[in-house]
A and B are shown apart, each in its own frame.
Chain A
């Protein structure tokens, strides 16, 4: 850990951010578990995107699905449009801790950029295609099937941005000499890369363990994602608690 011997809190250094207290960080931290609870509520209970619907349905069954769940999909994804920014705060706090590591800030920039790109296919495309489908549910079932496929393929199949995000985080933790996060978190992050990559066949497979609702493509990946989120949220709290007041954060 970097130890600032006796932080000189009176020194004026307008060019750098030096936390005098941790209220701001604590507020940001609390937004993360609240946001992910909303996220789970929206995707699992309201929008019915998690666990994913079957990949091998015909257009009439898909139309019936949208008819049956119009109201909850609309409530859920409209709510998502309100709270989606919470993911930005979660990612910002991780990137902030990455900037305290003894690695180049390019890791933190790559982390933010990868997630900024990933939010579109990994979250927003599913929301917009489902909201479009329920906006006029009397459309031709073939068109509803198209929106259904776009929604699930982008939601489960958006891999590259997230593997990059996990890779830069794992590398930063392994190279870091300031012990911001423990090494085992890098390993948990590498498992995330493995499960993301194993979802690649969703684009060609419609049934079985590699379909978008499959045991490997979806369920195992999601279990490990929940483990990852719980670990990173806990470790962010610990990192904020141990962060010395007045520490210089590199620009």
Chain B
């Protein structure tokens, strides 16, 4: 899993560098477009994902203690937060599109939709992985702490990427 995490960080790192370069070239457009993003919703989503990461981290601890029923509940809690993130993000996208901001509006919104979209793909993949973790925890034959840890590592990556996206797209002035 660490191969995937480190490689993914390099790929996203490149996207962030290209974003910053484009931003320095078209500073006015980027700042003007950024005002149309909903900072409040972005902040709520950040809290939702951080909470989910905390659930998953506690789930790993419970699994290490062999407290599997508790670990299952915690990982499911993390997954529910992930679903909530998807719902909030869908609402945010819908309101941006309703306000006339689409992929074709300008480079900022192309970046916004593509990078949050690829991040959403990672969230969905993360939900599948958390599902595998829950299934493994429930099955005494498949149960292994290393699976839970690998799933948690991936989920923290999803969280970390979102924090950087939130900082670059919503907050940075």
Bound complex: CA of A99 vs CA of B36, how far in Å? 51
A193–B103 alpha-carbon span in the complex (Å): 19
- Chain A contact residue count (CB 8 A cutoff): 21
Give the interface of B toward A (CB within 8 A). 3-4, 7-8, 11, 14-15, 18, 22, 103-104, 107, 110-111, 114, 117-118, 121, 125
A120 proximal to B (CB < 8 A): no
User: Are A208 and B22 in contact, with the CB atoms below 8 A?
Assistant: yes
List of A residues within 8 angstroms of B110 by Cβ: 201, 205, 208, 210
Neighbour of B3 across the interface among A187, A197, A200, CB < 8 A? A187
CB distance from A228 to the nearest CB of B (A): 11
Residues of chain B within 8 A of A187, CB atoms compared: 3-4, 7
Residues in A whose Cβ lies below 8 Å from that of B11 = 191, 194-195, 220, 224
**Given the contacts A200-B114, A201-B114, A184 and B107 also touching, CB distance less than 8 Å:** no
Q: Which residues of A contact B (CB under 8 A)?
A: 184, 187-188, 190-191, 193-195, 197-198, 200-201, 204-205, 208-210, 215-216, 220, 224
Contact among B4, B14, B117 for A190, CB-based, below 8 A: B4
Chain B neighbourhood of A209, CB < 8 A: 18, 22, 107, 111
Report the Cα distance A210→B18, complex, angstroms.
11
For the complex with contacts A184-B4, A193-B121, A205-B104, 11 further pairs of A-B residues with Cβ separation under 8 Å are A194-B118, A197-B117, A197-B121, A198-B114, A201-B104, A201-B110, A204-B104, A205-B103, A209-B22, A216-B15, A220-B11
A200 to B115, CA, bound (A): 12
On chain A, the residues within 8 Å of B8 by CB distance are 191
The 8 closest A-B pairs by CB, nearest first: A187-B4, A204-B104, A184-B3, A210-B110, A208-B107, A209-B18, A201-B110, A215-B18
